Amino acid sequence: MTELLLNHLGGRAQAGTGQGTILVDPVLGTELVRVDATGLDLAAGFAFARDHAGPALRALTYAQRGEMLAAAGKVLQARRDEYYAISTANSGTVRNDTAVDVDGAIFTLGAYARSAATLGARTHLVDGDAVSLSKDASFQSQHVQVPTRGVALFINAFNFPAWGLWEKAAPALLSGVPVIVKPATATAWLTQRMVQDVLEAGVFPPGALSVICGSSAGLMDQLKPFDVVSFTGSADTAAVIRSHPAIVRASVRVNIEADSINSAVLLPGEASGSASFDLFVKEVAREMTVKSGQKCTAIRRMFVPESLFDAAAEAIAARLQKNTVGNPRNDSVRMGSLVSRAQFDAVRAGLSGLKAHARTLYDGDTQALVDADRAVACCMGPTLLGATDPDANALVHDTEVFGPVATLMPYRDLPHALQLVQRGQGSLVASLYGSDNAALGSCALDLAASHGRVHAVSPEVAASHTGHGNVMPQSLHGGPGRAGGGEELGGLRALNFYHRRAAVQGAQAVLSQIH
């Protein structure tokens, strides 16, 4: 029988009592490990985190907690090769795609460890200056932020089992809030192994970091008023979470990252083959193929001037044609598989729906897979679609196919392009490509109201921009509307979610004690 991965809850390793769910290699179809959370005493585990780990973390300064994050990063760096192997086996990723997840996680931990040093030997944050509440200034008000005295429950998506854990856990632990993570079952192995390795190294106080692999049943029922929950996944599941009594009646703070139909826009005034045109084409093709398009920030819609539609279609297709799909263990392969048969079937169904409303400009499935059996492997080539009447085609603005699929559309003028982008009803990111800095800045401000991040690319940053889909810890991650309305990262802004703001009113001599 396959190995059963241990849960870590209540400060100790625990095995589920059921048969569990088998995780499968999405390329080879072989069984890997089992996960199971049956029989866990969730109430006791949550209570241990609140009552024991929380006070232990809060007794430390931000700088000391930052040192723990740095230590965790060193543990992960030392086992990096093991994590790469797990990612290849469990997620079907090529080495470059694994780096986005694993190395991105380690980088994020390091970024928050460095930020902690700027907070120094403090256990709370001062928010702004004191303001007078009396004519003689003898009575004043000072706002402070203190760590919430609960737990942070993370319900994570399948596509980033490493980074998805640490981009949430780093600011939570730095804030002094214990973490309980429930990774998506299909790719839970990497999350579980990282947590286990850090726990065995004794980096954090017992119960400060927990992982539950398997069913999420009962997790939300354990939440209390000062807990927080952060979810990444589908809009349908997000709606279930928002309707839970803990959210509705107990006002548990919730952060949601849901569906996002992100856009890339080539601004007017660019010619085919110009520097900005080539940057647009390169980034679109890259975003369609990195992690097989399984990124919440991936480009799903592309907009170009009407006169450049055919040229853009040909250029993007030419880049996609150079892509090789198949077994990520083969060094010639540039794109691996989708993470599971369920995701493969979902992408196929979504693509079929889009094809009824758009024509196929490039079909990557016409190429043979490398070292992979199409009957077994969850591999599919990138598909570029085209919709020449984007105003009348509601489906392309409403449907996110979570795989290597994107749709190219023409626009008449810049106002029309911006209007089409905003039909996404709120997205995580939009990227702009052009050489007119004034136009780039104006468009960025216009799109800021409906996007968490606007990525402006001009020829001068061709070699230095971080990429449309790359989430950097220094910048905000999240988005309004359909994207869930949440916010993560953004440097130390991420700590706001794990703190409670209060106004302390009193004499200046009293307020001086809390600075």
65 Cβ contact list (under 8 Å, min separation 6): 57, 116, 173, 174, 175, 176
Phi, psi of 174 (to 5 degrees): -60, -30
Q: What distance in Å separates the CA atoms of residue 388 and residue 58, rounded to the nearest whole number?
A: 57
End-to-end CA distance of the chain: 58
Contact 504, 140 (CB under 8 A): no
Catalytic: which of 257, 270, 287, 400? 257
| 296 is annotated as an active-site residue | yes
316 Cβ contact list (under 8 Å, min separation 6): 281, 284, 285, 302, 361, 362, 384, 408
Catalytic: which of 167, 213, 283, 296? 296
Q: Angle CA(463)–CA(421)–CA(473) in degrees, nearest 5?
A: 45
18 Cβ contact list (under 8 Å, min separation 6): 36, 38, 39, 214
Q: What distance in Å separates the CA atoms of residue 284 and residue 468, rounded to the nearest whole number?
A: 9
Residue type, position 271, single letter: A
The secondary structure of 474-490 as a DSSP string is: TSEEEESGGG-SEEEES
| 257 is annotated as an active-site residue | yes
Task: Quote the tokens at residue 108.
Answer: 């994020």
3-state secondary structure of 256: strand
Give strand pairing partners of 147: 499
Task: Give the residue numbers marked as catalytic.
Answer: 257, 296
